[in-house]
A and B are shown apart, each in its own frame.
Chain A
Amino acid sequence: MRGFILCLGVALVLAGCATTGGGSSRSDPLEPMNRRFYLFNNAADRLVMAPVAHMYTKATPKPLRASLTHFFHNVTYPDVIVNDFLQGKLHQGVSDISRFVVNSTVGVFGLFDVARHMGLKAHKEDAGLTLAHWGVGRGPYLVLPFVGPDTLRNTPSLLMSVVTNVLFYVGNAALTVPLAVFDVINARANASSSLRFVHENAVDPYVFTRNAYLQHRNYLFHGGHLPLNAVEEMMLPPPLVPSAPPPLRGPARHPDKSGVVAKPRPSRDIGVRPSHPGE
């Protein structure tokens, strides 16, 4: 175990070095492997998870699904609380303990989000965000089989989310295994509209998912409200190809020589902004 933690620590430090000032290809050096896992996950989803989630959605009324979502969110909430304190967010940690206690008792084991009505809003924290908080570099983007998008820095979250889950300590497999299966199916059902959006709108679903995931992680890193300079910086992404791009293929290969070309707007700063730090 010590060896594993040491290896992970070294890998994260190296990952931090590797990504300073990284552009698109730098943040995804494992793209060929990631794309293969992405296709694998998509196939598994299409063949197994999507039909199961569809049946689940048809068989359960919306209020029941909402309550189950609250319940599964509540049993994983100690992960948020632990990471609040690991990041030194004491006030948020106390608020999240109150939220967990209120929802676990008054909210009937978390089936109802009573705490929200008492002004105790939900936060999102995990081990990856804690490592980011303490300056650990993001590391390469990863697509893990059966898990989905991730980064090297975020991988400890996989273990930590298990050991901080209330169900992990129940000790009755006859109860916890079916609940864990329901958790996965419920989460997949909740993600249906987002996945449909990717399917309907993305011309390169892999690039879409990767960039959306990394940007959203950065947003979570900033507590759900990006600072003004981060928003300004992300408005225009860094150039994919810093120097001259490779020539276009097909009919548009040769530049128009008729002189009828749309004038670029020189007042705008196109594609020269730096990539944003953080997640």
Chain B
Amino acid sequence: MGWQKSGGRVGISACVFILCIGMAQAHAVSVQPAVAVIARFQQTLLSVMKKAPELGFKGRYRILAPAVRESHDLPFIAEITVGPYWPQLTAAARAAFVRTFTQLTVATYAAQFDGYSGEAFQETAAHAVAGGDVLVETTLTAHGRKEATLDYLLAQSGSHWKIDNIVANGVSDLALKRAQYTAVIQNKGFPALLAMLRVKVAQLSKAR
């Protein structure tokens, strides 16, 4: 009887152990593709930074455009940034906004990552978070010294994992854009916002 009891306990323990292993594997499986997206994107950024002077703005833009489109869920991010005004936009206005927003995102990367001085990205952690999304935490270092923390929130879009938001040193890119864009729409209207974003793209495109 004692043997049966202890055998039962062993059985339960084994089940719990196997379940834990299974859950750990499921967690690893769910997080790994998102981590790979970030690693690939940051690798592209680094390679562009290292060749920044030869490439110039246009060269950097050309390389980064497909990498940004592949790794960022730009239509979704664009929708979130205009918040409650999105349902009021016409299909044409939405398409124009997503197009301009995409150009602005790529142009911002191409303008900002314009040189290399010993920078490196390091993944520090990855977690499955609410709604099946994944948070990938990374740090940006320069000559081994920590410059910034960069946290990426990714969600599954179709069969791909894509970035929905980036939090740099605690500052959410999505929240910043949304606060500004909704303020501009509220005060000046959507056409004014679109015009301002186009001006920003043109200004950033003048970078070397």
Interface residues of A (CB under 8 A from B): 24, 116, 197, 200-204, 207-208, 210-212, 215-216, 218-220, 222, 224-226, 228, 231-232, 234-237, 239-241, 244-256, 258, 260-262, 264-265, 267-271
A270-B200 in contact given A220-B170, A231-B135 (Cβ < 8 Å):
no
Task: Report Cα–Cα, A13/B112, bound state, in Å.
Answer: 42
Most chain B beta-carbon neighbours within 10 Å: one of A210, A216, A239, A256: A256
Distance in Å from the Cβ of B75 to the closest Cβ of chain A?
Answer: 8
Q: Add 17 more A-B contacts to A211-B176, A237-B179, A252-B190 (CB < 8 A).
A: A204-B183, A211-B171, A215-B172, A216-B170, A231-B151, A234-B167, A235-B167, A235-B172, A236-B80, A240-B84, A249-B190, A253-B88, A261-B90, A261-B91, A268-B131, A270-B79, A271-B83
Return the contact of B183 from the options A216, A235, A240 (Cβ within 8 A).
A240
Selected interface stretch from B18-26, B34-42, B57-65, B191-199: B191-199
- Of chain A, the residue at the smallest CB distance from B151 is A231
Show 24 A/B contacts (Cβ-Cβ < 8 Å), sorted by A.
A203-B197, A204-B179, A204-B180, A211-B171, A219-B169, A225-B149, A226-B170, A231-B167, A237-B172, A239-B84, A240-B178, A240-B182, A245-B85, A245-B182, A245-B186, A247-B88, A248-B88, A248-B190, A252-B88, A254-B90, A256-B90, A261-B90, A270-B83, A271-B84
A249 & B171 in contact (Cβ 8 Å cutoff): no
Is B103 interfacial (CB 8 A cutoff)?
A: no
A248 & B80 in contact (Cβ 8 Å cutoff): no
A249 & B191 in contact (Cβ 8 Å cutoff): yes
Contacts of B165 in A (CB 8 A): 235-236
Task: Report Cα–Cα, A261/B92, bound state, in Å.
Answer: 9
Is B29 interfacial (CB 8 A cutoff)?
A: no
Task: Report Cα–Cα, A116/B130, bound state, in Å.
Answer: 37
Return the contact of B88 from the options A202, A245, A269 (Cβ within 8 A).
A245
- Of chain A, the residue at the smallest CB distance from B98 is A262
Q: Using a Cβ–Cβ cut-off of 8 Å, how many residues does chain B contribute to the interface with A?
A: 61
B171 & A224 in contact (Cβ 8 Å cutoff): no
Task: Report Cα–Cα, A252/B112, bound state, in Å.
Answer: 32
Distance in Å from the Cβ of A158 to the closest Cβ of chain B?
Answer: 22
- Scan B46-88; emit 1 where CB is below 8 A from any A CB, else 0: 0000000000000000000000000000011001100111111
Interface residues of B (CB under 8 A from A): 75-76, 79-80, 83-95, 108, 111-112, 127, 129-131, 133, 135, 145, 149, 151, 153, 155, 164-165, 167, 169-172, 174-176, 178-186, 188-193, 196-197, 200, 203-204
B88 & A232 in contact (Cβ 8 Å cutoff): no
Query: Interface on chain B toward A: helix, strand, loop, or mixed SS?
Result: helix
A215 & B192 in contact (Cβ 8 Å cutoff): no
A250 & B91 in contact (Cβ 8 Å cutoff): no
A219-B171 in contact given A248-B85, A248-B185, A255-B90 (Cβ < 8 Å):
yes
Distance in Å from the Cβ of B90 to the closest Cβ of chain A?
Answer: 4
Distance in Å from the Cβ of A150 to the closest Cβ of chain B?
Answer: 17
- Of chain A, the residue at the smallest CB distance from B191 is A250
Contacts of A256 in B (CB 8 A): 89-92
A248 & B174 in contact (Cβ 8 Å cutoff): no
B167 & A226 in contact (Cβ 8 Å cutoff): yes
A201 & B179 in contact (Cβ 8 Å cutoff): no
Task: Report Cα–Cα, A202/B183, bound state, in Å.
Answer: 12
Task: Report Cα–Cα, A250/B191, bound state, in Å.
Answer: 6
A271 & B80 in contact (Cβ 8 Å cutoff): yes
Contacts of B129 in A (CB 8 A): 228, 231-232
- Of chain A, the residue at the smallest CB distance from B186 is A246
Distance in Å from the Cβ of B16 to the closest Cβ of chain A?
Answer: 25
Task: Report Cα–Cα, A227/B184, bound state, in Å.
Answer: 31
Task: Report Cα–Cα, A136/B167, bound state, in Å.
Answer: 26
B83 & A240 in contact (Cβ 8 Å cutoff): yes
Task: Report Cα–Cα, A241/B197, bound state, in Å.
Answer: 22
